[in-house]
């Protein structure tokens, strides 16, 4: 197991290195510069040149890459080029927790609701309920979240005035954005759970367990769910990474000061240092979460042998 983890960590580091290099040069290929604007007065021209010099953008690209990597090795992600005076670390440490709070709420919500719906649908003989879950999961994967977010804002915010639509101040503020980011995962999880639960329920050992006279809920939870959840665990790793890196659309619409909207903004602004910082941070999250999810799967499922 340790050997496996060590190998994965090594591959993860290589992936990060590749990610950093590729992002650095790709972002510089996009036309435009952080300081360029439509103003051409003498003062603006002078300011542009001074800023390029101050932030070292006038040096050759390879030299800039060297400087950046050297800083990175010392844990220095630099200062934002656009947000004057703010360091990239500051920006990440103020925005990431916000996205994490929403992301974890959404993660727990999706898991509970998704698994619950999946089991209910799998065990129930009711056609209506089954159809409802299938309909919900079809809607969930096909409706884009900006549409759902706007719909929720209009119905529950503007017309019914039940939930606030700006920011994440109180628990009530979490309701609409959580639903907006969770619909897709809920649909995926309920589908996965339903399918694998139905599969598991047909297995011989389930029949055996039932015929031994074990209580129904023990059969379902202990023997059924544990085996049925394996595909869900595999899905959970990428899902949590996805939720923790934030959604630009949902964060923008609900004015949530999170990392997802920051990332898109940094690209539009050509805020090179911030793009790099966020890429590294998010890349790290994705790699770690994937690794964790694999390890947890192995832990749960005795059939997976990591060392081989």
Partner 1 sequence: MKKYARLLSAGLSLLLLLTSCGGGSSETPAPSQDAAPSAEASAPVEPASEEHSFTYALSSEPDYLDPAICMNSNTSAVLGQLYYPLFRYDQNGNVQNLACESYTVSDDGLTYTFKLAAGNTWSDGQPVTAADYEFGMKRSIGYGPDSAYAYLLYSNVAGGAEANENMMDVADMTDVAIHALDDSTLEITLAAPCPYFVGLLSNVVAFPLRSEFAVEHESTWANDPAVPTNGPFKLEVVRDKEEVVMVKNEYYVHADDVQTTTLTAKIITDPQAQLTAFQTGEIDLALSVPADVAVNYADDPALLNLDVVSNTFLWMNCTGETNPALADANVRRALSMAIDREQLLTFIGATSTRYPLYGYVPKGMADADGGDFRSNADAEEPYAPFDLEQAKSLMEAAGYNENNRLPITISYISSNTNTDICVCLQAMWREIYVDVELSAAEQKAYAQARKAGQYQIATGSTSADYLDPYYYLERWVSYNQGYKQVNDPTYDAMIEDANAQIDPAARMEKLHAAEKYLVADNAYTIPLLGSSQLGLMNPNISGLKFDPTNSAYFDGLSY
Cα 57–chain centre separation: 32
Of 44-73, binders to partner 1 (CB under 8 A) are 45, 47, 50-51, 53-54
| Minimum CB distance to partner 1, residue 85 (Å) | 4
Query: Is residue 235 near partner 1 by the rule CB under 8 A?
Result: no
Give first-to-last CA distance, the chain, whole Å: 9
Contact with partner 1 (CB under 8 A): which of 127, 161, 202, 213? 161
> In whole angstroms, what is the distance from residue 306 CA to residue 5 CA?
9
> In whole angstroms, what is the distance from residue 291 CA to residue 3 CA?
13
| Minimum CB distance to partner 1, residue 163 (Å) | 9
Q: Are residues 103 and 168 in contact, defined by beta-carbon separation less than 8 angstroms? A: no
Q: In this complex, which beta carbon is closest to partner 1, that of residue 15 or of residue 47?
A: 47
45 Ramachandran zone, left/alpha/beta (phi>0; psi -120 to 50): alpha
| Beta-bridge mates of residue 87 | 79
Q: Are residues 300 and 233 in contact, defined by beta-carbon separation less than 8 angstroms? A: yes
Please spell the DSSP secondary structure of 232-292, one letter per residue. Answer: HHHHHHHHHHHHHT--HHHHHHTT---HHHHHHHHHHTT-HHHHHHHHHHHHHHHHHHHHH
Contact with partner 1 (CB under 8 A): which of 132, 143, 257, 284? 257
| Beta-bridge mates of residue 79 | 87
Residues for the chain: how many in total?
308
Query: Is residue 104 near partner 1 by the rule CB under 8 A?
Result: yes
Contact with partner 1 (CB under 8 A): which of 21, 124, 138, 255? 255
| Minimum CB distance to partner 1, residue 161 (Å) | 6
Query: Is residue 246 near partner 1 by the rule CB under 8 A?
Result: no
| Minimum CB distance to partner 1, residue 18 (Å) | 25
Query: Is residue 37 near partner 1 by the rule CB under 8 A?
Result: yes
Cα 54–chain centre separation: 35
Query: Is residue 75 near partner 1 by the rule CB under 8 A?
Result: no
Q: Are residues 148 and 183 in contact, defined by beta-carbon separation less than 8 angstroms? A: yes
Query: Is residue 97 near partner 1 by the rule CB under 8 A?
Result: yes
Choose the stretch contacting partner 1; rule: CB under 8 A; options: 115-123, 127-135, 180-188, 265-273: 265-273
| Minimum CB distance to partner 1, residue 31 (Å) | 4
Query: Is residue 155 near partner 1 by the rule CB under 8 A?
Result: no
Query: Helix, strand or coil for residue 80?
Result: coil
Contact with partner 1 (CB under 8 A): which of 78, 95, 178, 287? 95
Choose the stretch contacting partner 1; rule: CB under 8 A; options: 125-133, 179-187, 195-203, 267-275: 267-275
Query: Is residue 165 near partner 1 by the rule CB under 8 A?
Result: yes
Find, among 113, 229, 264, the residue nearest to 181 by Cα.
Answer: 113
Q: Are residues 224 and 120 in contact, defined by beta-carbon separation less than 8 angstroms? A: no
**Positions in the binding site for partner 1 (CB under 8 A):** 30-33, 36-38, 40-43, 45, 47, 50-51, 53-54, 83-86, 93-97, 100-101, 104, 150, 153-154, 157-158, 161, 164-167, 222, 226, 233, 244, 252-255, 257, 261-262, 268-270, 292, 296, 299-300, 302
């Amino acid at each position: 197991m340790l050997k496996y983890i060590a190998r994965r960590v090594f591959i993860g580091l290589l992936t990060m290195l590749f990610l950093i290099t590729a992002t650095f040069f790709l972002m510089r290929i996009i036309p435009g510069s952080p300081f360029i604007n439509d103003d051409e007065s003498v003062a603006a021209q002078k300011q542009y040149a001074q800023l390029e010099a101050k932030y070292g953008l006038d040096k050759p690209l390879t030299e800039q890459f060297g400087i950046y990597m050297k800083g990175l090795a010392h844990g220095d992600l630099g200062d934002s080029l656009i947000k004057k005076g703010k360091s990239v670390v500051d920006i990440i440490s103020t925005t990431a927790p916000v996205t994490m709070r929403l992301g974890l709420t959404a993660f727990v919500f999706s898991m509970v609701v998704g698994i619950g719906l999946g089991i209910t649908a799998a065990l129930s003989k009711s056609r209506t309920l089954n159809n409802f879950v299938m309909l919900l999961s079809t809607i969930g994967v096909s409706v884009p979240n900006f549409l759902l977010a706007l719909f929720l804002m209009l119905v529950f915010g503007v017309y019914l005035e039940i939930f606030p639509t700006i920011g994440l101040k109180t628990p009530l503020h979490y309701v609409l954005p959580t639903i907006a980011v969770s619909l897709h995962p809920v649909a995926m999880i309920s589908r996965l759970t339903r399918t694998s639960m139905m599969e598991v329920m047909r297995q011989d050992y389930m029949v055996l367990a039932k015929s031994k006279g074990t209580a129904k809920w023990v059969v379902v939870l202990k023997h059924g769910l544990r085996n049925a959840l394996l595909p869900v665990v595999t899905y959970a790793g990428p899902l949590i990474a996805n939720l923790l890196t934030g959604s630009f659309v949902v964060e923008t619409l609900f004015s949530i000061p999170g990392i997802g909207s920051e990332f898109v903004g940094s690209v539009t602004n050509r805020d090179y240092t911030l793009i790099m910082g966020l890429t590294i941070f998010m890349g790290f999250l994705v790699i770690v979460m994937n690794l964790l999810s694999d390890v947890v799967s192995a832990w749960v499922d005795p059939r997976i042998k990591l060392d081989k």
